[in-house]
Structure 1
C-alpha cells in the first residue's frame, strides 16, 4: 500500500502543480480519477466471477471426460457394431417362464400387468396340454383390472410341444419393444425397482441388466488342467465382484433370442436340453461373447413367492461348475467379463 500511495502522490505533484492534500483526497474519492472506487470494485468482482466460472467449467469438463471414460470401460453406452444397438421402443415385454405352477403364474401376471412400462406379457408354456380357456380368460381379466395404463398389455402364450429350457429363449415375432424382461413365474420385482432397472438397461441396451448376480473364477489343478468355478450369491458378496446376471430376472435385447436359437453353437443347446439346466449361464456367455462387456447388476429387493427351485437340490453347485467348464470348452474361449459396478436407486437412500 505504501508503494501505491507514493506513486499516486508523485503523479499528482508532477502534473503542473504543487503537492496538495486536497487533490490526493479528491483522487482517492474519484473526483480527479477516471474511474470511481465503486466501478473498480465492480470490475474486480466481474474478473473474480469470470475466474470462478472458468474454474467451474474446467472441473465440469474434467469430470465429464472422466465419466465418459469410466462408462466406456465399464460397459455403459458401448458402441459395438451390433444388430442389438438400437434403443428400446416403448416399454418392455415381460417374458415369464412357467411350468405347472398356475397359482404362481396368476400372481406374476397380475403384478407385472400393474407396472407402467409393461407393453406385453408373454408366457413360455412347455406343458403337454395347452393352457385352459379358463386360465386364459382369468389372466386377461386380471390384466384389464390391474393395468394402470390406457393401452393394456397384450397377453400371449408361446406354446411349445415339449419341455425344454431352451424354449424360454425362442425368438418372438411381432414384438413392439426391443427390451425383454425375462423372469421366472415365482419371482416378483417391485414395479418401482423394475422401472429403474429398465432405465439402466436403456443406457446400455447391448448388455444384460439384472437382479441376480453370479461370478466365476479360474481354478488350476495340479495336473495343469484349467477349470472354472461357478460362484453363487455368497461368493459375489464375499469377493465383491460378478460376471453374470441370471435370466430369472434380467433385461436384455430381443435380438439375443434369435442369436441364442440360431447363432449360438447348437452343441450348447443340446447340452441344456439333455441336462435340463444352465440355460441362464448359456445366455450370459452369449451376451458377453457378443459385446465383450460385463453385465450390470441392479441392487434391489426382489421376492421369490415359490420354492427355491433347482438351486436347492443336492449337487446343484457341482452341476453348475461343470456347465460353465463345458460351455467354455465349446466356445473355445472365456467371454465373461468381471466387474464390481452396481446400479442402485438412491432416491430412497439417506446417504449418497
Structure 2
C-alpha cells in the first residue's frame, strides 16, 4: 500500500507514555494513517487486545522476541504499507505533510524532523552530535521520529554479515539503532537522509529514565559510528544540505 503509512511504537513498562502517545495519534483524524503497531518489549506481560479507533485506524500489539531497540526496525510480514514511521517519545506536528514529502522526495531515505551531524576528532575518530548552529549540513535523521521504507527494513533484518553485525552491536550497547538504520540506508542507496519540518514543531515527551538520560550515552554513540565504519569498511554517511519546511516555497 503506497498511499497510507503505519506507525511502529516500541514500549517497555511505560504505560503512561504509551497511552499519551496513542491519544495524540488517535484523537484526531490523520488521513493517511492506516495502522499503529505497538512493538511490545515487555516480555513477561501479555499485551492488550488490538482495536480499531473511532477514525478507523487499526491498533495491534506485536510481541517481541526479546527486549531490543532493534525490534521496531525488524520487518513485519503483517505490515500493509510501504511507509513505516519509527516513533519513540516524540509528538510530531504536521505528520500528514511529512508523509507526503516522504512519498515525493524521501521514499528511500530516512525522512524526519531531527537532523544530526558527525565530525572527526584529532585522532581521526568519528564523533556524533548536534549540528552546529548556523550549519546547513547534516548526515543523519534520528529514527525515533522518521519514515523508513519497508524494503530498507527488510535488508536491516537480514542474516547477512553487515546488518547482523550492526544489529548485534546496537543490542550489545542497548543504543544506536537509530544511527544504525541511517548507516544501512546510506550504504544501500548512496543518498543521505531528508530533514522535513511542518509548521507545528515536534514535542519531546522526554520520559524519565529514557536511554538518552543514562550515563555514557554520548560516548556510546561516538563509538557506534566508528564500529559501523569498521563493519562496512568505510564511512558511508552522506552529507545533506536541503531541508523541507511547510509554508516555505520549494522549486524543482
TM-score past 0.5 threshold: yes
Q: Which runs of 5+ in 1 are unaligned?
A: 1-87
Structure 1 residue 320 displacement after superposition? 0.8
RMSD: 1.9
Superimposed CA distance per residue, residues 233-280 of structure 1 (whole angstroms, 9 cap, x where no aligned partner): xx3434332100011000010112211110443121111111101011
Residue aligning to 1:212: 114
Q: Which portions of structure 1, spanning 4 or more consecutive aligned residues, are displaced by more than 4 angstroms?
A: none
Residue aligning to 1:181: 85
Number of equivalences: 241
Superimposed CA distance per residue, residues 13-65 of structure 1 (whole angstroms, 9 cap, x where no aligned partner): xxxxxxxxxxxxxxxxxxxxxxxxxxxxxxxxxxxxxxxxxxxxxxxxxxxxx
Query: 1:251, 1:344 → 2: CA distance?
Result: 16
Contact 1:243 1:337 in 2 (8 A): yes
Q: 1:131 to 1:112 in 2, by over 3 A?
A: farther
Query: 1:132, 1:97 → 2: CA distance?
Result: 12
User: Highest Rg: 1 or 2?
Assistant: 1
Residue aligning to 1:59: none
Residue aligning to 1:163: 67
Query: 1:345, 1:252 → 2: CA distance?
Result: 20
TM-score, normalised to structure 2, is 0.88
SS in 1 for 2:6: strand
Structure 1 residue 112 displacement after superposition? 1.8
Which residues in structure 2 correspond to 1:108-123 (within 5 Å)?
Answer: 108-113=21-26, 114=28, 115-123=30-38
Residue aligning to 1:70: none
TM-score, normalised to structure 1, is 0.64
The answer on 1:307 being equivalent to 2:179 is: no
Superimposed CA distance per residue, residues 70-108 of structure 1 (whole angstroms, 9 cap, x where no aligned partner): xxxxxxxxxxxxxxxxxx613100111111111111121
Superimposed CA distance per residue, residues 284-330 of structure 1 (whole angstroms, 9 cap, x where no aligned partner): 00110111111111124001224272223333221111111111111
Query: 2:110, 2:95 → 1: CA distance?
Result: 14
Residue aligning to 1:76: none
Contact 2:138 2:241 in 1 (8 A): yes
The answer on 1:227 being equivalent to 2:125 is: yes
Greater share of residues in strand: 2
Query: 1:183, 1:237 → 2: CA distance?
Result: 26
Structure 1 residue 178 displacement after superposition? 0.6
Contact 1:94 1:112 in 2 (8 A): no
